[in-house]
Amino acid sequence: MMYWAILLFCNFVKVLCVPHPIVGGRTAQPNTYGYQASLRYATEAIEFHFCGGSIISDKCILTAAHCYEVLTKPNRELSRVHVYVGTIYAKKSPNDKGDMYGVESFKKHEQFNRTSLINDLAVVTTDKPIRFNFRVWPIKLATIRPPDGSFITVTGWGYIKNGVKVIPRKLQVINLKMMSLTDCMALNPLDPSCPLEKVTETNICIVGNVGQSTCQGDSGGPAAYNGELVGAISFGADQCGDGKPSVMTCVIDYIEWIRNQTEMH
């Protein structure tokens, strides 16, 4: 398990309001969520998972803009960011059949605001085309918001227990219910310690029972409905699994921006 690797990243961002990623989920079956990507950073000593992402074309991964923070620490280099696809493992394993790609660019939304987390989207471009097969495939972008009450599938390698900074060995999945945006906005701010992080019209909120939510490490990962991508995991309450909603950046509201980024590659 990548216990101290994820702690290294968390220690770096601890002065910020850290978005929360899956608590209360189950282990994903291999070759089921082939659009899932793992973004990892390689230091001289270790390589660690820091965010999730979604394959949206043969060279582009959609993730959260706040995931770029891994590169803001002194001496961090884009050449050390790697994209892993076709695997359910959070680190290299003898059983791992996944593929690794280098990164050509990491493009944040131009109007991303780290304090409010508005426009929390980014596109990571790989250094060569991703090979699609029975383990790896892109996910189509949704064009219509799911109806309230529908179940949204989220996947990731985020913490699986609140207060325990350990990421799972294998990919986790959970189905959470779509919440009314009006009801979700009425809960602002979800995290009192981050009062400027507020749900807006460009978000989607999903919620489960107490003990079910996204958590740190899931950020940037996919939220899917009927096999289409509806959101990228952005932020949540201060305690994972406390019964409050998890917040996604709504893909539908950024279709033109996303397409502009992918058409460049």
Burial class (CB in 10 A: 0-12, 13-18, 19+), 203: buried
Question: Between 2.70.98.10, 3.40.50.2300, 2.30.40.10, 2.40.10.10, what CATH number should domain 33-138+255-263 receive?
Answer: 2.40.10.10
- Kindly list the catalytic residues: 66, 120, 219
Tell me the helices (H) and strands (E) count for the chain, helix number first: 3, 14
User: Residue 264: its pLDDT value, please?
Assistant: 66
Please determine whether the domains at 33-138+255-263 and 140-253 fall in the same fold group of CATH: yes
Amino acid at 157: W
Question: Between 3.30.470.10, 2.40.10.10, 3.40.1440.10, 1.20.1050.10, what CATH number should domain 140-253 receive?
Answer: 2.40.10.10
User: Residue 192: its pLDDT value, please?
Assistant: 82
User: Residue 96: its pLDDT value, please?
Assistant: 78
User: Residue 71: its pLDDT value, please?
Assistant: 92
User: Residue 182: its pLDDT value, please?
Assistant: 95
Q: What does pTM read for this prediction? A: 0.88
| Per-state percent for the chain, helix, strand, coil, to nearest 5 | 15, 30, 55
Burial class (CB in 10 A: 0-12, 13-18, 19+), 8: middle
User: Residue 258: its pLDDT value, please?
Assistant: 96
pLDDT along the chain (265 residues), means of 10: 33 40 76 96 91 97 96 91 95 82 97 94 98 97 96 89 73 93 91 86 88 78 97 84 86 96 77
